[in-house]
Structure 1
């Protein structure tokens, strides 16, 4: 398996709709997509099972769901939010180990995400993975403060070695988190200086820059459509245009159509809404609550506003767009909050992959299957 062809790493929250979008988005099977999931704590309503899962069920369902939607293609998994006594007691071992092995047992492939803030028990779980499969990748996530604090490549190399890995099989994710930068040029020059120190050319398996400008609290009233600039994309375009300042141009990462927080289970009826990306903006088309008497039919006027707007890409653009367009038909099925998230994420991933292929002048597909059969993987 190679991660060196990936252009896009969406950092997702393991929502059912997001996961299903991996299997349907246009270009998702091209080998250019390398998803990363941060597993939320248990306690949320599972739309597939139609109930709240126990901590053990929550962790163990990972492998089957991943395999069904993504097959043998690689993903990275961050178990930091389930790195606690409750989930460890349910699994009787570290949750990260359980997640990775559940994926492998289902014929899927998941590799760990680790950070400088990972707990000692989390690091030990990563080391068990690397000791069993030394040539397989890990992902190291660095925050802006990490980037500023690390003084040399040698210091970062030593950190990676403590995980039982080496730079050549480590994907480096520089994660800026939530950023709203109207003039990216000065910031890009600062980032380039840190890249020159920490990411010399031809050292890491792959390097990504991640951030998002998706709003934390849109504060929209029902029936109102909100427009929010995709300044995260403009920032990345500035990185590419100033690529000569970087040892090598990093690839792109974002949080899809989410703000990077709010992982607690939601226990109120969802509001009917559609999130939608254009080349330059994030849009939120907001409707009424789905509580009685509205029900899921509250999505119909929302879809009508989106489809009739100048921003809709058309039903042929992706399966998610086709579903949104179908909501205008007589007798259409409403779907539910998970379906609406799938449609929005399907469109977003399709759009980002297209934008990246144009920006980097990349066309065509890479190998669809891992270079080494998964049966050769050793369980931890």
Structure 2
């Protein structure tokens, strides 16, 4: 059975991430379907209140999609927004997002899960009825192993008015215990081999990450982090028996499952550049200074280029920027710059990896 050749990066839709998408090549765009988690407003710790009203937070979303991901499909998940939150006019935030997207002719699919509250599910039901693009169903591994999983999913789909062949299943492992790998592969195989909704769904994607919550344990200079989710996926594809449906691949790009939620005035990290290579990330990191931290970036980029693992400036827009920063032809940038650089290169690398693995 053929290996699916598409990639689902989970993105939180910060500026660095949507700028990364806009800079992808057309070939990468064709094989990338982002899973976007819509974020609530940042919290102002000084004033002890959100920095924005939810209306102000979500108003630019559809325009950002239109500007940075035009004409391409994306999955949109409102899991990060507090369930009681409503827009100023009383609409559910997810309903608002899709009303705005519909007016612009965007190709978005709502994502839900079995544990979402009734208002969320009602919003998804209305979106499915209006757009006819089906639904994304996000589930964890333990959830999928539940003997009642199939019945629960069928019940939800009936409630949503969505046929089973219009469901995109996102089997989200989060950051699992990757060692030992063989038992984990056996568990995933048992889920995929269970038939039912996994056999009839429009698509099935395995999503995971091994990127750490913090880079504090990494040495200064260059360090390697294995892309454990990619190694797991390759091993799973080799181990699955032929009749079993092969899932597509997804990860959290260059981010961890949990992202910093504390007072950012006191959470400034060390300058670093994250760069996907074969089966790993190469991370260049410098010691944080009290000022002028951006001055570290040309040296970090120089170390990456000289590492012997640099893919070349023509490989991705992210690689091009790294080489330009090293040479002084690009600005030293800021954290948003280095987010788009890392994310753009990572997506390009994973798409190339998948093409090689699937032989297409």
Per the TM superposition, whether the score is higher than 0.5 is yes
State the Cα RMSD in Å: 2.5
Which residue is equivalent to 2:137? 140
Secondary structure of the residue that 1:328 maps to in structure 2? helix
CA offsets, 1:222-264, max 9 Å, x none? 8343321111111101111123266211110110010011263
Q: Quote how far apart the aligned CAs of 1:53 are.
A: 4.7
Distance across 2 between alignment mates of 1:138 and 1:343: 31
For residues 172-211 of structure 1, the aligned pairs below 5 Å read 172-199=169-196, 203-211=200-208
Distance across 2 between alignment mates of 1:263 and 1:143: 22
The 1:100/1:109 distance shift into structure 2, 3 A limit, reads same
Secondary structure of the residue that 2:264 maps to in structure 1? coil
Q: Quote how far apart the aligned CAs of 1:162 are.
A: 2.1
Q: Mind listing any 5+ residue stretches in structure 1 that lack a counterpart?
A: 46-51, 363-380
Distance across 2 between alignment mates of 1:229 and 1:221: 13
Greater CA deviation, 320-329 or 16-25? 16-25
Which residue is equivalent to 1:117? 115
Are positions 1:248 and 2:208 aligned together?
no
Q: Quote how far apart the aligned CAs of 1:91 are.
A: 5.5
Q: Quote how far apart the aligned CAs of 1:180 are.
A: 4.1
The 1:290/1:27 distance shift into structure 2, 3 A limit, reads farther
CA offsets, 1:90-133, max 9 Å, x none? 46310111112222333422221101121111111111112223
For residues 201-240 of structure 1, the aligned pairs below 5 Å read 203-220=200-217, 223-240=220-237
For residues 226-305 of structure 1, the aligned pairs below 5 Å read 226-244=223-241, 247-262=244-259, 264=261, 267-268=264-265, 269=268, 271-289=270-288, 292=291, 294-305=292-303
Instruction: Indicate conservation of the 8 Å contact 2:298/2:328, yes or no.
Output: no
Distance across 2 between alignment mates of 1:12 and 1:83: 18
Q: TM-score, normalised by structure 1?
A: 0.84
Secondary structure of the residue that 1:112 maps to in structure 2? strand
Instruction: Indicate conservation of the 8 Å contact 2:4/2:246, yes or no.
Output: no
The 1:9/1:297 distance shift into structure 2, 3 A limit, reads same
Which residue is equivalent to 1:374? none
Q: Mind listing any 5+ residue stretches in structure 2 that lack a counterpart?
A: 45-50
Q: Quote how far apart the aligned CAs of 1:187 are.
A: 1.8
Which residue is equivalent to 1:11? 10
Distance across 1 between alignment mates of 2:270 and 2:338: 11
Q: Quote how far apart the aligned CAs of 1:172 are.
A: 0.5
Distance across 1 between alignment mates of 2:149 and 2:90: 39
Distance across 2 between alignment mates of 1:271 and 1:104: 41
Instruction: Indicate conservation of the 8 Å contact 1:140/1:170, yes or no.
Output: yes
Instruction: Indicate conservation of the 8 Å contact 1:40/1:263, yes or no.
Output: no
Instruction: Indicate conservation of the 8 Å contact 1:6/1:33, yes or no.
Output: no
Q: Figure out how many residues of one structure are paired with residues of the other and give that number.
A: 350
Distance across 2 between alignment mates of 1:91 and 1:263: 31
